[in-house]
Amino acid sequence: MDIAESPLLCFPDLNSSCRRLHRPHLEVAVLYTLLAAISLLTVTLNLLVIISISHFKQLHTPTNALLLSLAVSDLVVGLLVMPINGLLHLETCWLLGDMMCAVIAYVSFCLISVSVGNMVLISIDRYVAICDPLLYATKITLKKAKTSICLCWACSLLYNGCILMEHLEQPDRSSSCYGECVLVISNVAGVLDVFFTFLGPCTVMVVLYMKVFVVAISQQRIIRLQTTTATVTLALTAKRSEGKAGRTLGIVICVFLMCFCPYFSPSLAGQESSTSSSYSAVLSWIMMMNSCVNPLIYALFYPWFRKAIKLIITLKILHHHSRQEKVM
């Protein structure tokens, strides 16, 4: 056989090696540039969220603690999951070994569960803040928020360890050739996982936000009828502030559902899902783009985030009393 006609192998010295997909050099350059840009943007934006909430004491609130947890999971997606998944789909060869094949699948699934858990916690936080504002300070404290976040991460690590136990023990069990990293989830496991990871939590989010929406409308009606005394004006300002925060986080949750629904659609349809198909790759990237979109929503709707970014970029956070800076 002619050398030019011989198939490109991931590992030329092995007859059992997978074939490498040949792409034009220009296409490869464009795709790698796009991958690097998306990953860098995701990491940078989420790092700005993490620095902002961690640095400025005024932002140390229960709601922002949940946003911080979400930003950490999104940062890991941009730093680890996006580059490795992009490398796999562009090269069509897995060059990092069986151990990394198991680890990246486990990390990806954990981050999905953590993101969903954070969204549920955010929904609960907004529900209490808007529907029961007088008791919010006692029901939702920073300590309780941090405890809930720790439980969310711990449960995610344990749950996905159980779901992916076989894959973690034998990462190459579904591979058809050497140099392939494939995770196949059976119909039964897929349906159970989609219920516990997606359908159940999403039902909770939708129900809570429907109640929040109804209460917000009734509050708007009350606001129109109220007199403009100093005390009432102060109370109405607080209500408007909570309402605006609720709407912003409502947008975050809506975008989250739009990005995650396609990813879980094969399991909802009762199909066996595999990470090796091009269709699965597209759905994964739609889901991962949510990690980049979240900070953009904060930048559009949160003045405190824009002010914090300005202080970070101008290096004013290095000043001695910058932690006490008023950003809200």
DSSP string, 240-304: HHHHHHHHHHHHHHHHHHHHHHHHHHHHHTTPPEETTSHHHHHHHHHHHTHHHHHHHHHHHH-HH
* Domains in the chain, number: 1
In a domain, 103, yes or no: yes
Checking if the pLDDT of 164 tops 80, the result is yes
Confidence of residue 242 (pLDDT cuts 50, 70, 90): low
Q: Round to whole Å and give the CA distance between 157 and 109.
A: 9
For the chain, percent of residues with pLDDT exceeding 70: 83
In a domain, 11, yes or no: no
Q: Round to whole Å and give the CA distance between 176 and 192.
A: 26
Per-residue DSSP letter, 134:
G
Which residues, in sequence order, are bridge partners of residue 19?
Answer: 9
Top-confidence residue, 252 or 289: 289
Q: Residue 197 corresponds to which amino acid?
A: T
CATH number at residue 99: 1.20.1070.10
DSSP3 helix / strand / coil % (the chain, rounded to 5):
75, 0, 20
In a domain, 10, yes or no: no
In a domain, 19, yes or no: no
Q: Is 276 exposed, middle or buried (0-12, 13-18, 19+ CB in 10 A)?
A: middle
Going through 70-198 in order, the beta strands assigned E by DSSP cover 184-185
Per-residue pLDDT of 27-77, as tens digits, reads: 888 988 999 999 999 999 999 999 999 999 999 999 999 999 999 999 999
Per-residue pLDDT of 96-115, as tens digits, reads: 888 888 888 899 999 989 99
Sign of CA dihedral 250, 254, 255, 260: positive
What pLDDT does 244 receive? 58
Per-residue DSSP letter, 135:
G
Q: Is 93 exposed, middle or buried (0-12, 13-18, 19+ CB in 10 A)?
A: buried
In a domain, 8, yes or no: no
Domain assignment of residue 123, given as a range: 25-324
In a domain, 12, yes or no: no
In a domain, 216, yes or no: yes
What pTM was computed for the model?
Answer: 0.83
Tokens 């808007």 correspond to 130
Q: Round to whole Å and give the CA distance between 213 and 251.
A: 12
In a domain, 91, yes or no: yes
Q: Round to whole Å and give the CA distance between 236 and 220.
A: 9
Which residues, in sequence order, are bridge partners of residue 273?
Answer: 185
Tokens 């739009």 correspond to 258
Residue (of 80, 287, 305) closest to 88 by Cα position? 80
Tokens of 213: 């929406």
What pLDDT does 4 receive? 44
DSSP string, 204-258: HHHHHHHHHHHHHHHHHHHHHHS---HHHHHHHHHHHHHHHHHHHHHHHHHHHHH
What pLDDT does 48 receive? 94
